[in-house]
């Protein structure tokens, strides 16, 4: 067991280093000079601009040799310093990101968990009868085939503009400031509902389909037939099939949770919801490379962590993987 | 216990039509009898075994009556059969190696199954342990996952599990087919032990291996192409079979000590008919050396002497 | 005498060869899914013939709802939405085929080799797969977008394919693992066939159905990815696609102006096509896997 995890850890670390390196290379590959871009915005006179340019280039460490910049980057990273944002100068990137993260969690955690739960339940129902299957299956597939942003647009237009029931941009009313008042919370929830619904529906479809396929597979397994031959009631057979079918769904869940930090890019754009996804868009539009770099770093870490957690969870939960660890017989 | 089967017909539904896999079986098994069900692949023996406990999704019950201990078993009704399954009739399947849920500890799974039959796991535990000793399995297996057991251990566990509630009739479906000879012997002897200790009343042992039946079966029922050919006590079947198919079958078995140079093995030329559209009359007539004009009509399965049934005009006519 | 008693041999062999086709033609899911996809394909092909308007040209009064002149209405700039739609359909299918095809090809190659060879090669390829999965594809796309003034649909497809293969690779690898332990592979190895030959001659034919299904999923996935990329603004610069239509619609306040004819058709089309592809996939699974067939 220890060897297995030791090996996994080594592989993950290696992957991390490689991915982070690629991430670090991003601004270096961008055409143009990030400092110049920033200064262009300030609209300074020529000489002032030149001095500022030298100052900032030094400040950002861009005049150092490449390898030194690389090492400095790792140094800063391990100290939790992701650099300074260009667009929202002088706010540190980490601060900008951490301001956005709570909104992502608020939006994605309920939608992922709820859609997982209900999706799996419905998927299991589909396996009960042909008729249920023929209704649930197409619905599930259509939902999962729906592009996130389109459903967002549809809901925004139908329920937001046409019916006027919900607002369609921001996390809360622009007239309010965050406070622990009922007005604020109500506004928060109103702004939350449509993006939540669009995410929930599409994800629900995916889980339902996945579960349905897994359950059908399990119901046809030999252990199911044996139980039936020994007079086990349908409920017991279904219960066992469900427990087995849910294991791969757990993997999927962990993965989805892991990339919560990546935000829901398309949905957030439609609703101007201030999560990391929206942040990325704004960083692109404002050419804030350091912010971009920081966001991507967050995502990389999230994905790797999630994968690692999945590996652990799976070993704990599925006894079959434990023998698999002892190596595959050729 | 007694099992009486009357004119059981079970077909397989396929795209091309109904495959008449089991076409009219009538026989009985007495209390304490180990009956071997023998025949080549595709003769319908597994179909017969399964039809007595659980019809698979492709099987179609056509007609027939099955009486177990004087009560009619509704083999056509999956729901109603649950009252009989496990307690009155049980099965050790061919796929014993993969019959156990891989993600559930064996003891837990047993408890769940027993609970579904209103039996308390705690109460039956001492008996369960005794059975495990009988098949030489450590009590620890109850705390293990199936993947931690070897194939042979899983097979024995399934044997214990299937017979835990002392069914009247145990159907053993090709349980020795995938085993090596010494394990075959051990498993077969275990089965006999089960019967001797009254753990099960009677056993229907489905196999294509007549030599094993010779070791443990009290009587043998030979099937061919969905129909019953001959049924008689083991000694009679082996030493003086009457049906031409049985005769050819027995003579095609290799004998220990006899070399090929001395005596060549005779097979049975030809192959069994496809059961999608079986030939009329006796289904063996194309390969039978004694076929004659009478064989165009199907011979009845009659008792030609005490406990000896044959479906062949040669025997029926001479007996009549 | 025996001649007349000889049993008839029903001509089942002829039926067996066409069994797959027979089931394929009967399977409802396959039929409906294929029908929907074909409808859109036909629309993509003949659509541009039905209208004289170029998708990006300003041809009519702005913000008009659907009418006899403009079947799908016009945009805020007076462009013909129907023209955009049918040209966008073509772009969508192109991305699906090229992007999905490339993703399948790469995934199959890597998955096969990893699953078959095992050991250190498998570990290395696994690591490669993980890295590609973890790299924010957005990041790379941004760099590309910054460098390339003009981006084509083909480029987008290639890009999608290069990042979509890990999913296919994982699935193919798992299948190869299970097939490789089978007897006929052992036989091939004993007879001295080299690995590549074994992969292509023994394993691949048994996985044909699986490969086909993988392609269909990649096809659908590529379409969805392209739609998202276009929507963010990282799509092709010299063409119109369904995702771009939605991007433009949102950008130019179609939502607030209630111009539903601009943003509903593109999304609806994607949903229909990808949904149909998924349903086809289920149908194919039923055709190839007899256990799942409804009788």
According to the model, what pLDDT value does residue A117 have? 93
> What is the rounded CA–CA span in Å between residue A192 and residue A48?
45
Instruction: Work out the angle at residue A290's Cα, subtended by the Cα atoms of residues A288 and A292, and round it to the nearest 5 degrees.
Output: 70
Query: Which positions in chain C touch A314 (Cβ < 8 Å)?
Result: none
Neighbours of chain B (3+ CB pairs under 8 A): A, C
pLDDT at A43 over 70: no
Read off the pLDDT band of C1 (50, 70, 90): very low
pLDDT, tens digit, 9 for 90 and up, residues C227-282: 888 888 778 877 888 988 888 888 888 888 888 888 899 999 999 999 999 888 88
**pLDDT on residue C69:** 79
Q: Distance, in angstroms, between A317 CA and closest chain C CA?
A: 20
Confidence band (pLDDT; 50, 70, 90) for A163? confident
From the number of C-beta atoms within 10 Å of its C-beta (0-12, 13-18, 19+), residue A78 rates as exposed
Segment C154-181, tens digit of pLDDT: 888 888 888 888 888 888 887 777 776 6
**Contact assessment for residue C236 and residue C230, using Cβ atoms and an 8 Å cutoff:** yes
Question: By the 8 A CB rule, do C165 and C110 touch?
Answer: yes
Identify the sign of the CA torsion B89, B101, A330, A323.
negative
Q: Determine contact: A180 vs chain C, CB below 8 A.
A: no
Q: Does C96 touch chain A (CB under 8 A)?
A: no
Distance separating alpha carbons of residues A102 and C68, to the nearest angstrom: 49
C291 at B interface, C-beta within 8 A: no
Q: Which of A31-35, A96-100, A253-257, B88-92 has the highest mean pLDDT?
A: B88-92
Candidates C105, C103, C123; CA nearest to C114 is: C123
Minimal CA–CA distance to C289: which of A135, A216, B17? A216
SS3 C86: helix
Residue B68 near residue B146, CB atoms below 8 Å = no
Statement: the pTM of the whole predicted model exceeds 0.95: no
CB contact under 8 A, C250 and A270: yes
Task: Work out the angle between the directed axes of helices C260-288 and A130-145 (0-180°, nearest 10).
Answer: 130
Q: Across the interface, which of C5, C6, C10 has its CB nearest the CB of B276?
A: C10
Q: Which residue would you say has higher pLDDT here, C249 or A67? A: C249
d(CA B104, CA B257): 48
Average pLDDT over residues C136-158: 76
DSSP tag of C6: P
At A30 the pLDDT is: 64
Going by pLDDT thresholds of 50, 70 and 90, the confidence category of residue A52 is confident
The closest CB to that of A26, out of C143, C224, C267, belongs to C143
Q: Does A272 touch chain C (CB under 8 A)?
A: no
Question: Model confidence over B141-189: pLDDT tens digits?
Answer: 999 999 888 888 898 999 999 999 999 999 999 988 878 888 888 889 9
What is the pLDDT, as a whole number, of residue B41?
Answer: 83
Comparing B209-218, B221-230, B285-294, C6-15, the range with the smallest average pLDDT is: C6-15
Contact C295 B13 (CB under 8 A): yes
Say whether A230 and B87 touch across the interface (CB within 8 A). no
Which chain A residue is nearest to residue B84, measuring alpha carbons? Answer: A231
pLDDT at A20: 81
Work out how many CB contacts closer than 8 A connect A with C.
131
- Tell me what the pLDDT averaged over chain A comes to: 80
Nearest to A319 among B53, B90, B145 (CB): B145
**In chain A, what's the furthest Cα-to-Cα distance?**
90
Q: Which residue of A has its CA nearest to C181?
A: A330
Average pLDDT over residues A198-220: 88
C275–A157 CB contact, under 8 Å: no
Is there a contact between C8 and B279 if contact means CB atoms under 8 Å apart? Answer: yes
**Which range, B250-264, C30-44, C115-129, C183-197, is most confident?**
C30-44
Could you tell me which chain C residue has the CA closest to the CA of A152?
Answer: C267
Q: Given phi > 0 = left and psi -120 to 50 = alpha, else beta, which region is C245?
A: alpha
Residue A138 near chain C (CB below 8 Å) = yes
Say how far apart CA B151 and CA B99 lie, in whole Å.
Answer: 11
C2/B286 Cβ within 8 A: yes
Q: Which residues of C touch A328 (CB under 8 A)?
A: 118, 177
CB within 8 Å: A303 and C133: yes
Query: Which chain C residues are Cβ-neighbours of A209 within 8 angstroms?
Result: 278
C 202-261 residues inside an 8 A Cβ radius of A: 220, 224, 227-228, 231-233, 243, 246, 249-250, 255-256, 258, 260
Q: Is the pLDDT of residue B37 over 90?
A: yes
CB-CB neighbors (< 8 A) of B16 in chain C: 10, 12, 15
Query: For B274, which residue in chain C has the nearest alpha carbon?
Result: C9
According to the model, what pLDDT value does residue A330 have? 30
Residue C7 reports pLDDT greater than 60: no
Candidate from A294-308, B47-61, B173-187 with smallest mean pLDDT: A294-308
Q: Nearest Cβ partner of A157 from C142, C232, C255? A: C255
Which helix H or strand E contains C23, and what residues bound it? helix C19-26
> For the purposes of burial, counting CB atoms within 10 Å of the CB of A100, is it exposed (0-12), middle (13-18) or buried (19 or more)?
buried
- Smallest CA–CA separation between B205 and chain A, in Å? 17
Reported as a pLDDT band with limits 50, 70 and 90, residue A229 is very high
Mean pLDDT over the full length of chain B = 89
Burial class of residue A81, CB neighbours in 10 A (0-12, 13-18, 19+) = middle
Q: Subunits with at least 3 CB pairs below 8 A relative to chain A? A: B, C
- Residue in A18, A162, A266 nearest the CB of C228: A266
Q: Do A292 and C263 touch (CB under 8 A)?
A: no
- Res. B127 pLDDT band, cuts 50 70 90: very high
Give tens-digit pLDDT for A177-201: 777 788 888 888 888 899 999 999 9
The pLDDT of residue A230 is: 92
Confidence class for position C52, pLDDT limits 50, 70, 90: confident
């Amino acid at each position: 067991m220890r060897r297995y995890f030791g090996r996994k850890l080594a592989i993950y670390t290696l992957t991390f280093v490689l991915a982070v390196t690629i991430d670090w290379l991003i601004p270096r590959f961008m055409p143009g000079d990030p400092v110049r871009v920033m200064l262009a915005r300030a609209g300074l006179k020529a000489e002032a601009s030149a001095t500022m340019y030298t100052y900032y280039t030094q400040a950002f460490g861009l005049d150092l040799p490449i390898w030194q910049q690389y090492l400095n980057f790792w140094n800063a990273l391990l100290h939790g310093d992701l650099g300074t944002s260009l667009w929202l100068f002088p706010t540190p990137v980490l601060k900008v990101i951490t301001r956005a993260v709570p909104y992502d969690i608020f939006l994605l955690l309920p939608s992922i968990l709820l859609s997982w739960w209900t999706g799996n339940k419905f998927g299991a129902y589909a396996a009960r009868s042909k008729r249920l299957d023929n209704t649930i299956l197409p619905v599930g597939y259509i939902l999962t085939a729906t592009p996130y942003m389109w459903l967002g647009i549809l809901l925004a237009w139908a329920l937001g503009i046409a019916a006027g029931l919900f607002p369609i941009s921001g996390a809360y009313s622009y007239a309010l400031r965050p406070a622990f008042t009922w007005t604020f919370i109500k506004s928060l929830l109103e702004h939350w509902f449509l993006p939540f619904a669009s995410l929930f529906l599409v994800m629900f479809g995916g889980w339902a389909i996945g579960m349905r396929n897994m359950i059908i597979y399990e119901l046809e397994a030999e252990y199911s037939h044996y139980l039936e031959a020994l007079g086990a009631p349908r409920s017991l057979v279904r219960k066992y099939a469900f427990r087995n079918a849910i294991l791969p769904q757990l993997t999927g869940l962990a993965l989805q949770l892991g990339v919560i930090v990546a935000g829901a890019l398309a949905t957030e754009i439609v609703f101007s919801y201030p999560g990391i996804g929206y942040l990325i868009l704004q960083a692109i539009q404002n050419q804030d490379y350091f912010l971009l770099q920081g966001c991507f770093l967050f995502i990389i870490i999230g994905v790797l962590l999630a994968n690692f957690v999945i590996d652990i969870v799976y070993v704990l939960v599925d006894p079959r993987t434990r023998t698999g660890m002892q190596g595959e017989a050729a | 216990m007694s099992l009486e089967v009357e004119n059981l017909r079970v077909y397989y539904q396929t795209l091309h039509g109904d495959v008449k896999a089991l076409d009219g079986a009538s026989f009985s098994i007495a209390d304490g009898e180990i009956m071997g069900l023998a025949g080549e692949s595709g003769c319908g023996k597994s179909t017969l075994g399964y039809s007595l406990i659980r019809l698979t999704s492709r099987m179609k019950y056509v007609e027939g009556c099955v009486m177990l201990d004087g009560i009619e078993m509704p083999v056509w009704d999956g729901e109603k059969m649950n009252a009989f399954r496990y307690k009155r009739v049980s099965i050790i399947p061919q796929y014993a190696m993969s019959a156990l849920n891989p993600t559930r500890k064996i003891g837990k799974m047993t408890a769940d199954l027993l609970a579904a039959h209103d039996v308390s796991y705690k109460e039956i535990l001492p008996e369960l342990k005794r059975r495990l000793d009988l098949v030489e399995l450590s009590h620890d297996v109850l705390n293990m996952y199936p993947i931690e057991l070897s194939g042979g251990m899983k097979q024995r566990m399934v044997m214990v599990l299937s017979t835990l509630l002392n069914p009247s009739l145990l159907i053993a479906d090709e349980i020795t087919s995938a085993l090596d000879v010494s394990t075959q012997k051990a498993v077969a002897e275990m089965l006999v032990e089960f019967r001797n200790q009254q753990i099960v009343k009677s056993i229907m042992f489905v196999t294509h291996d007549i030599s094993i039946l010779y070791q443990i079966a009290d009587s043998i029922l030979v099937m061919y192409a969905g129909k019953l050919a001959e049924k008689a006590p083991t000694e009679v079947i082996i030493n003086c079979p009457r049906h031409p198919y049985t005769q050819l079958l027995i003579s095609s078995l290799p004998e220990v000590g006899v070399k090929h140079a001395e005596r060549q093995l005779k097979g049975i030329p030809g192959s069994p008919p496809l059961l999608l559209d079986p030939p009329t009359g006796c289904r063996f007539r194309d390969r039978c050396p004694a076929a004659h004009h009478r064989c165009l009509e199907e011979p009845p399965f009659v008792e030609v002497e005490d406990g000896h049934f044959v479906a062949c005009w040669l025997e029926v006519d001479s007996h009549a | 005498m025996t001649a007349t008693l000889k049993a008839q041999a029903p001509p089942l062999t002829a039926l067996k060869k066409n069994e797959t086709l027979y089931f394929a033609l009967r399977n409802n899911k396959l039929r409906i899914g294929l029908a929907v996809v074909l409808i859109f394909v036909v629309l993509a092909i003949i659509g541009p013939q039905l209208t004289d308007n170029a998708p990006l040209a300003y041809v009519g009064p702005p913000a008009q709802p659907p009418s006899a002149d403009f079947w799908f209405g016009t945009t805020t700039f007076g462009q013909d939405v129907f023209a955009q739609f049918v040209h966008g359909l073509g772009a969508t299918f192109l991305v699906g085929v090229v992007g999905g095809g490339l993703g399948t090809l790469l995934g199959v190659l890597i998955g096969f080799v990893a699953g078959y060879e095992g050991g250190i090669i498998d570990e290395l390829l696994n690591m490669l797969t993980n890295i590609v999965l973890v790299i924010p594809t957005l990041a790379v796309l941004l760099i590309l977008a910054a460098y390339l003034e003009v981006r084509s649909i083909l480029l987008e497809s290639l890009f999608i394919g290069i990042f979509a293969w890990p999913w296919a690779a994982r699935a193919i690898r798992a299948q190869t693992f299970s097939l490789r332990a089978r007897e006929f592979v052992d036989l091939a190895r004993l007879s001295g066939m080299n690995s590549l030959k074994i992969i292509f001659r023994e394993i691949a034919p048994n996985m044909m159905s699986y490969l086909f299904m993988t392609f269909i999923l990649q096809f659908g996935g590529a379409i969805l990815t392209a739609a998202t990329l276009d929507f963010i603004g990282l799509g092709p610069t010299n063409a119109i696609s369904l995702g771009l239509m939605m991007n433009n619609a949102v950008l130019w306040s179609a939502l607030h102006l209630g111009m539903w004819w601009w943003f509903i058709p593109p999304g609806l089309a994607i949903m229909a096509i990808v949904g149909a592809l998924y349903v086809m996939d289920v149908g194919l699974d039923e055709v190839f896997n007899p256990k799942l067939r409804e009788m």
